[in-house]
Amino acid sequence: MEKEMIRVSGLIKRYGAQTVLDYVSFSVNRGECLGIIGNNGSGKTVLIKCICGFVRPTEGTVTVNEKTIGKDTDFIENAGIIIESPGFLNSLSGFRNLEMLASMNGRIGRKEIEEILRKVGLSDTGNKKVMKYSLGMRQRLGLAQAIMEAPEILLLDEPFNGLDRNGLTEMRDLLLSMKSEGTTIVLASHNAEDISILCDKTIELDGGKIIDERIL
């Protein structure tokens, strides 16, 4: 039996009179990729923030790896996250940005950071200041930051913005490799090709409600 990694149950999020998420429920097993699709304003980013613990739901629960967010733990644990545009210190190199982030947990060192930069195609530019990075290079660095500590779960909100065709193929292949090794992925994307290549199932949001669920 597959291990359930994420369960969202009856999730409602209101901001004043506005209901942004309206009784959303689903589950994701270990090693699965769930695609979240929907137009801008449908609730995708707020849903991912609720799973992370960055936003508290008005009602309902989010359980990740048997821990309820906001009860057993404040924030999701052992997860790599990209929400909106990755933020880095522009005056520092890509390598130095990752090194500073890695120092918070102390799980990885220089060797692992160099290997991650190689995996995302930034080996030759890791020592370049981020202010000189293209949008696609910033996205690659964002993915490097999300995966560098080999998380059990990846929560990715439009992670491929700015990547060219080669970059898309490389990053999709990297995520497929991680999925095959048991990483659980939640991916919000407008790109139908991302969804068809990476995802095992999808939910479609409209006005904060799930209007469609599919096994791919």
Q: How far apart are CA 48 and CA 46, in angstroms?
A: 5
Mean pLDDT of 133-139: 91
Sign of CA dihedral 163, 166, 170, 173: positive
Q: What is the total residue count of the chain?
A: 216
Domain ranges of the chain: 1-78+151-216, 86-150
Is the model more confident about 199 or about 86? 199
Look up residue 73 and give its DSSP letter.
Answer: B
The number of beta carbons lying within 10 Å of the beta carbon of residue 5 is 22
The SS3 of residue 174 is helix
Q: Directed axis angle between helix 135-147 and helix 110-119, to 10°?
A: 130
CA atoms within 13 A on the CB side of 60: 23
Superfamily (CATH) of domain 1-78+151-216: P-loop containing nucleotide triphosphate hydrolases (3.40.50.300)
Mean pLDDT of 125-131: 83
Q: What are 156-167's pLDDT values in tens digits?
A: 999 998 888 999
- Residues 6 or more apart in contact with residue 136 via CB below 8 angstroms: 162, 163, 164, 167
| Strands laid side by side in the 4-15 sheet | 18-29, 4-15, 59-64, 67-68
Closest residue by Cα to residue 37 from 197, 198, 195, 196: 195
Q: What are 67-119's pLDDT values in tens digits?
A: 999 999 999 999 999 997 778 999 999 999 999 999 988 889 999 999 999 99
Query: Rounded to two decimals, what is the model's pTM?
Result: 0.94
